Amino acid sequence: MAKLNINGKIRDVQVEPDTPLLWAIREQVGLTGTKYGCGVAQCGACSVHINGELVRSCVLPVGGVKPTDKVVTIEGLSSTSSHPVQKAWSALDVPQCGYCQSGQIMAAAALLRKKPKPTDQDIDDAMSNVCRCGTYQRVRAAVHMAAGRKQA
Amino acid sequence: MNTKLSRRRFIVGTAVAGGGLALGIRLPFGASAEAKTAGDAGVEVHAWVVVKPDDTCVIRIARSEMGQGTRTGLAQLVAEELECDWKKVATESITPGENLARKRVWGEMSTGGSRGIRTSQDYVRRGGAAARMMLLQAAADEWKVPVAEVGVANGVITHAASGRRTTYGKVAAAAAKLTPPDPKSITLKDPKDWKIAGKPMKRLDTADKLNGSKVYALDVRLPGMLNAAVKACPVFGGKLVSYDESKIAGRPGVRGVVKVNDSTVAVVADTWWRAKSALEALPIVWDEGAGASQSSATIAKHLEEGLGASEAYAFRNEGDAVGAITGAAKKIEAVYSTPFLAHATMEPMNCTVKLSADRAECWVATQNSEASLAALSEQSGVPLEKCEVYRHDLGGGFGRRGGNQDYVRQAVNIAQHFPGVPIKMIWSREEDMGHDFYRPISQCKLAAGLDDKGNLVGLHVRISGQSINAFVNPAMVANGKDDRQLQGYTARPGDAQLGYTVPNLLIEYAMRNTHVPVGPWRGVNTNQNAVYMECFIEEAARAAGADSLEFRRALMGKHPKHLAVLNAAADKGHWGTPLPAGVHRGIAHFMGYGSYSAAVAEVSVSGEGKVRVHRMVLALDCGHAVNPDQIAAQVEGSVVYGLTAAFYGECKVENGRMTELNFDRYQMLRLAEMPKVETVIVPTYDFWGGVGEPTISVVTPAVLNAIFAATGKPVRSLPLKNLKLV
Ligand code: FES
Ligand code: FES
């Protein structure tokens, strides 16, 4: 049994402490917007924020998350899909299948919190999530748009 | 196609033809993320169109959506003829059970071969037009005026003479009672007059991809549901001998261990994580079988033998290629090779099945939901009309989720041990990459002869490699005659025609199969065949001392559409103009899925041999361009899928099994490596071609030809990560 603070709510989850946070979020808390892609911290589909930091939740055991840690999932990023990243993603029709996009959006939101006006190099460095549909060109443009910048 | 597929088709077909055993059964619509509209709040004016009192037009979609934008494109085509308000369009995915119960009124549901729009455009447009005609007739009847006096725009019907107006929502109920017009009597709009189709409309299915609310098959949660993790023998063709259940007894949440089939075992638990952890702890004994002796090296040898074998299928034999090459002023020769590749859809294979006393239900991401339905019925023994498939939009398809519904069959087998309990089976990423239907491996030997002026006088192409059709249905390709493996080299126009005229041409195929399961992979054989042809033509152009573009143009006089697309790419790619120091261009073109593609790549190769693709221009003639922005998205995506294969893609075989089982070894292109992609769409409006696949074939050869330009050496094997380029 662990206590997790997810999207501002305290949740009791009945899991072994070595259960990855990803699966506790998906299976016990029932929030399925955070995706399973690889389970080995390679793809970023499982990205969440913990105390504002970007974390790949598939390799983080629940036992390593304190009840005071603030976990934010894609469902908690904004209540009305009004985060600037979500708005830019919508404006540029970024998603194809969409499966990787929760992770892409969480990664972009974390980047913009640290660097409100990221350069292309910043985006290259921060946005390492895999998109098998190949939406990278629009991801880049949408990060710039969310930062309030037209891409050159 | 394939037997498994056609057998399923046959079943579906029989059920329909067999006296309407399925008729009159009203099946519920699937659990889709789309608007739930068909019930009380709307009326079906026509099979393709439901109209709600608030004037929302719900357009029915039969094809699968896996990111390629088909849902939006099909809706545009229906809405165009319907003359409704695009802002009030919603969509609804029909289920295969519904389709069957209504004698396949929505036609083919399978979504592959870049056919989603091109092979349904005609009847869906007629469906939209028929609904419009019925709605107008209903208004005319109400006003007691001739229908010819009634006009419509954006779903508002008007009678100019009397100034009366009404809306689709108000007349829908009356319209639904009318007899639909004969589809053949309908005249469709000239694409020149399109207002909704042909325009870069925003996708209709983006919102729930932005906030985590979209429910993929992997996200399905049902009351009482249990979860299953599966493991198949890592060696293809191997068998399950035994497992020691006692070693995982007492693990939390575990409900059972199930032999799924001859080669597969599953652990079922309350959660998937517990099932997977228990499965990893389960001792399993395999009989690895004959396949265990196979490796990439043995397979390469097997293919090499085919390159020189005396017997081969002569697919095209025009003039005397061998003689012309022997007698030519200059001769060149090369051997190329391409590896097995996994699809690696971002959403791993999964399927949820619930079997009750007289009902079988399945929740699945599928490119062919009728094949899913047939697999569900066959495997469960529940008659088709008591089966239903709730299809979910796919987290990637790329050909993996087509006719071969292996995951449905596995999930049914597991669910049979848990009557009445929904079982969600999820493959781990390792299972997904270790048990794919891989892009087939092949090698290609090419020889060309040039005359003293540098003209290509003879070309001999011999492909040796694995056949998809032979894996699916060996009887279909008796004597090694498998035209599908020669995709892109056909003489016949229309689908995948070679764009060159060579006076002496011999194209052969030596079928060399392996124990590895193979299947269609985005672009299928156009990928490998475009590399072989377009990189070797580049070698020929350089041997002739000719410009790469001019050498190709000289061979394309009889192929104006191929040439126009090549020219479009060359123009937009500024072929022949100066580039920054160290940057080089490569060009390629090919045809597949009824569409013409060409690419120009700008590439640099560092002193350490690191390749950087800076810019790619892709030109496409897909006949009709239904949504230019979504076509651009598909082109951008095809560049990523193609470059991933070119740089990193390789599934090696060791001791009969795959060694690339996750993204650590099966690397993916990331955003930092993404070139700037420019899409040039040059539709000629005299045919309907595909979009999802065609352009991928030209990505790799354009890049390889640019590397050739940079280093002076041709690249003849993939992936690039294995090569020392400088
Ligand atoms: S699922 Fe966590 S990084 Fe891939
Ligand atoms: S949108 Fe499909 S994987 Fe990224």
pLDDT per position as a tens digit, B586-619: 999 999 999 999 999 999 999 999 999 999 999 9
Q: Whose CA is nearest to atom 3 of ligand 1?
A: A41
Bridge partners of residue B390, in order along the sequence: B363
Determine contact: A7 vs chain B, CB below 8 A: no
Question: Residue B388 corresponds to which tokens in the numbers above?
Answer: 């239903």
Looking at the fold, whether B407 and B529 belong to one and the same domain comes out as no
Cα B510 to chain centroid, rounded: 26
Question: In a 3-state reduction of DSSP, which class is residue B438?
Answer: strand
Looking at the fold, whether A30 and A70 belong to one and the same domain comes out as yes
Which residue's structure tokens are 């997904």?
B432
Determine contact: A37 vs chain B, CB below 8 A: yes
User: Using an 8 Å Cβ cutoff, are B620 and B565 in contact?
Assistant: yes
Looking at the fold, whether A14 and A36 belong to one and the same domain comes out as yes
- The DSSP annotation for B580-594 comes to -TTEEEEEEEEEETT
Residue B209: its chain A contacts at CB < 8 A? 95, 98, 101
Measuring CA to CA, which residue among B549, B461, B474 is closest to residue B502? B461
A93 in contact with ligand 2, CB cutoff 6 A: no
User: Using an 8 Å Cβ cutoff, are B34 and B91 in contact?
Assistant: yes
| B628-655 pLDDT, tens digit each | 999 999 999 999 999 999 999 999 999 9
- The DSSP annotation for B453-515 comes to T--EEEEEEEEEE--HHHHH-GGGGGGG--GGGGTT-BSSSSSSB-----SEEEEEEEE---S
- For residues B131 and B142, what is the distance between their CA atoms, to the nearest angstrom? 17
Q: Give kind and range of the element (H or E) at residue B423.
A: strand B423-426
Which of residues B206, B232, B252 is at a domain's end?
B206
Domain membership of residue B9 (yes or no) is no
Domain membership of residue B414 (yes or no) is yes
Which domain CATH number covers B152? 3.30.365.10
How would residue A58 be classed by pLDDT, with cut points 50, 70 and 90?
very high
| A40-57 pLDDT, tens digit each | 999 999 999 999 999 999
Q: Which of B210, B212, B637 sits opposite A135 (nearest CB)?
A: B637
The C-alpha angle with vertex B121 and arms to B115 and B127, in degrees rounded to 5, equals 140
Measuring CA to CA, which residue among B536, B531, B561, B565 is closest to residue B551? B536
Pairing of strands B387-392, B359-365: parallel
Interface of B with A in 107-166 (CB under 8 A): none
* Omega before B719 within 30 of 0, i.e. cis: yes
| B78-109 pLDDT, tens digit each | 999 999 999 999 999 999 999 999 999 999 99
CA-atom Rg of chain B in angstroms: 27
Domain membership of residue B626 (yes or no) is yes
- For residues B442 and B334, what is the distance between their CA atoms, to the nearest angstrom? 14
| Helix ranges, B544-695 (H) | 548-554, 560-572, 628-647
Domain membership of residue B37 (yes or no) is no
Determine the residue type at A152: A
Which domain CATH number covers A94? 1.10.150.120
Question: In a 3-state reduction of DSSP, which class is residue B282?
Answer: coil
- For residues B549 and B537, what is the distance between their CA atoms, to the nearest angstrom? 10
Interface of B with A in 67-106 (CB under 8 A): 67-69
Q: Which of B227, B273, B677 sits opposite A137 (nearest CB)?
A: B677
If one residue of A19, A26, A38 were mutated to test the ligand 1 pocket, choosing by the most ligand atoms within 8 A of its CB, it would be: A38
The domain total for chain B is 3
- For residues A44 and A64, what is the distance between their CA atoms, to the nearest angstrom? 19
What ipTM was assigned to the predicted interfaces of this complex?
A: 0.98
Looking at the fold, whether B330 and B398 belong to one and the same domain comes out as no
Question: Residue B305 corresponds to which tokens in the numbers above?
Answer: 């033998």
Binding pocket residue ranges, ligand 1, CB within 6 Å = A 36-39, 41-46, 56, 58
Question: Residue B204 corresponds to which tokens in the numbers above?
Answer: 């209709």
- For residues B183 and B201, what is the distance between their CA atoms, to the nearest angstrom? 27
The single-letter DSSP state of residue B186 is P
Residue B213: its chain A contacts at CB < 8 A? 33, 75
User: Using an 8 Å Cβ cutoff, are B666 and B348 in contact?
Assistant: no
Looking at the fold, whether B453 and B589 belong to one and the same domain comes out as yes
Looking at the fold, whether B50 and B81 belong to one and the same domain comes out as yes
Length of chain B: 726
- For residues B261 and B266, what is the distance between their CA atoms, to the nearest angstrom? 10
Q: Give kind and range of the element (H or E) at residue A10.
A: strand A9-13
Q: Which of A31, A93, A129 sits opposite B212 (nearest CB)?
A: A31
Please indicate whether, in this complex, the C-beta atoms of B212 and A30 are within 8 angstroms of each other: no
User: Using an 8 Å Cβ cutoff, are A73 and A28 in contact?
Assistant: no
How would residue B40 be classed by pLDDT, with cut points 50, 70 and 90?
low
**Order of strands, sheet of B359-365, starting from the edge strand that comes earlier in the sequence:** B254-261, B264-269, B226-232, B423-426, B350-356, B359-365, B387-392
Looking at the fold, whether B320 and B251 belong to one and the same domain comes out as no
Bridge partners of residue B510, in order along the sequence: B464
Task: Report the residue of chain B nearest A86, measured CA to CA.
Answer: B210
Looking at the fold, whether B391 and B474 belong to one and the same domain comes out as no
For B23, list phi and psi in degrees, rounded to 5: -65, 145
Looking at the fold, whether B256 and B329 belong to one and the same domain comes out as no
Domain membership of residue B212 (yes or no) is no
The C-alpha angle with vertex B507 and arms to B505 and B513, in degrees rounded to 5, equals 170
Looking at the fold, whether A70 and A117 belong to one and the same domain comes out as no
Bridge partners of residue B423, in order along the sequence: B226, B353
Which residue's structure tokens are 């199969």?
B513
Which of residues A53, A75, A97 is at a domain's end?
A75
Determine contact: B632 vs chain A, CB below 8 A: no
Determine the residue type at A151: Q
Please indicate whether, in this complex, the C-beta atoms of B346 and A74 are within 8 angstroms of each other: no
Q: How many CB atoms lie within 10 A of CB B381?
A: 10
User: Using an 8 Å Cβ cutoff, are B299 and B263 in contact?
Assistant: no
Determine the residue type at A117: K
Burial bucket for residue B617 (CB in 10 Å: 0-12, 13-18, 19+): buried
Domain membership of residue B221 (yes or no) is yes
Length of chain A: 152
The domain total for chain A is 2
The single-letter DSSP state of residue B564 is H
Please indicate whether, in this complex, the C-beta atoms of B67 and A19 are within 8 angstroms of each other: no
Domain membership of residue B11 (yes or no) is no
| B44-75 pLDDT, tens digit each | 999 999 999 999 999 999 999 999 999 999 99
pLDDT at residue B178 greater than cutoff 90: yes
Bridge partners of residue B264, in order along the sequence: B232, B261
**Order of strands, sheet of B442-450, starting from the edge strand that comes earlier in the sequence:** B313-318, B504-511, B456-465, B442-450, B330-338
Looking at the fold, whether A39 and A92 belong to one and the same domain comes out as no
Please indicate whether, in this complex, the C-beta atoms of B212 and A95 are within 8 angstroms of each other: no
User: Using an 8 Å Cβ cutoff, are B411 and B362 in contact?
Assistant: yes
Kindly report the average pLDDT of chain B as a whole number: 94
Give the model's pLDDT for residue A150.
56
Looking at the fold, whether A48 and A13 belong to one and the same domain comes out as yes
- For residues B658 and A147, what is the distance between their CA atoms, to the nearest angstrom? 43
Which residue's structure tokens are 């079906």?
B44
For B24, list phi and psi in degrees, rounded to 5: 80, -5
Looking at the fold, whether A68 and A11 belong to one and the same domain comes out as yes
* Nearest-CA distance A127 → chain B (Å): 7
Looking at the fold, whether A65 and A34 belong to one and the same domain comes out as yes
| B428-477 pLDDT, tens digit each | 999 999 999 999 999 999 999 999 999 999 999 999 999 999 999 888 89
* Nearest-CA distance A85 → chain B (Å): 9
How would residue B148 be classed by pLDDT, with cut points 50, 70 and 90?
very high
Which domain CATH number covers A36? 3.10.20.30
* Nearest-CA distance A108 → chain B (Å): 12
Give the model's pLDDT for residue B403.
85
Domain of A125 in residue numbering reads as 84-146
pLDDT at residue B297 greater than cutoff 60: yes
Looking at the fold, whether A6 and A70 belong to one and the same domain comes out as yes
Which of residues B180, B206, B232 is at a domain's end?
B206
Looking at the fold, whether B281 and B328 belong to one and the same domain comes out as no
Cα B380 to chain centroid, rounded: 28
The more confident residue out of B116 and B16 is B116
Domain of B457 in residue numbering reads as 296-341+438-722
Terminal-residue alpha carbon distance, chain B = 44
Cα→Cα distances A22→A35, A57, A103, B536, B722, Å: 8, 5, 12, 48, 34
Question: In a 3-state reduction of DSSP, which class is residue B646?
Answer: helix
Cα→Cα distances B495→B113, B204, B316, B503, Å: 11, 30, 16, 22
- For residues A125 and A110, what is the distance between their CA atoms, to the nearest angstrom? 12
Cα of B635 vs centre of ligand 2, distance in Å, is 14
| B239-266 pLDDT, tens digit each | 999 999 999 999 999 999 999 999 999 9
Task: Report the residue of chain A nearest B344, measured CA to CA.
Answer: A132
- For residues A96 and A104, what is the distance between their CA atoms, to the nearest angstrom? 12
Q: Looking at residues A102-127, what average pLDDT do you find?
A: 98
- For residues B388 and B374, what is the distance between their CA atoms, to the nearest angstrom? 10
Measuring CA to CA, which residue among B701, B692, B505 is closest to residue B601? B701
Q: How many helices (H) and strands (E) does chain A have?
A: 5, 5
pLDDT at residue B35 greater than cutoff 50: no
Which of residues B179, B206, B233 is at a domain's end?
B206
Looking at the fold, whether A12 and A63 belong to one and the same domain comes out as yes
Determine contact: B547 vs chain A, CB below 8 A: no
Looking at the fold, whether B550 and B683 belong to one and the same domain comes out as yes
- For residues B695 and B530, what is the distance between their CA atoms, to the nearest angstrom? 11
Please indicate whether, in this complex, the C-beta atoms of A137 and B674 are within 8 angstroms of each other: yes
Domain membership of residue B47 (yes or no) is yes
User: Using an 8 Å Cβ cutoff, are B622 and B681 in contact?
Assistant: yes
Residue A123: its chain B contacts at CB < 8 A? 671
Task: Report the residue of chain B nearest A19, measured CA to CA.
Answer: B273
Domain membership of residue A152 (yes or no) is no
Looking at the fold, whether B263 and B198 belong to one and the same domain comes out as no
Cα of B670 vs centre of ligand 1, distance in Å, is 14
* Nearest ligand to residue A23 Cα: 1
Domain membership of residue A151 (yes or no) is no
Question: Residue A135 corresponds to which tokens in the numbers above?
Answer: 């939406």
| B619-634 pLDDT, tens digit each | 999 999 999 999 999 9
Report pTM. Answer: 0.95
Looking at the fold, whether B489 and B636 belong to one and the same domain comes out as yes
Determine the residue type at B586: G
Question: In a 3-state reduction of DSSP, which class is residue B258?
Answer: strand
Domain membership of residue A7 (yes or no) is yes
Looking at the fold, whether B245 and B154 belong to one and the same domain comes out as no
| B375-408 pLDDT, tens digit each | 999 999 999 999 999 999 999 999 999 989 999 9
Q: Which of A32, A99, A105 sits opposite B346 (nearest CB)?
A: A99
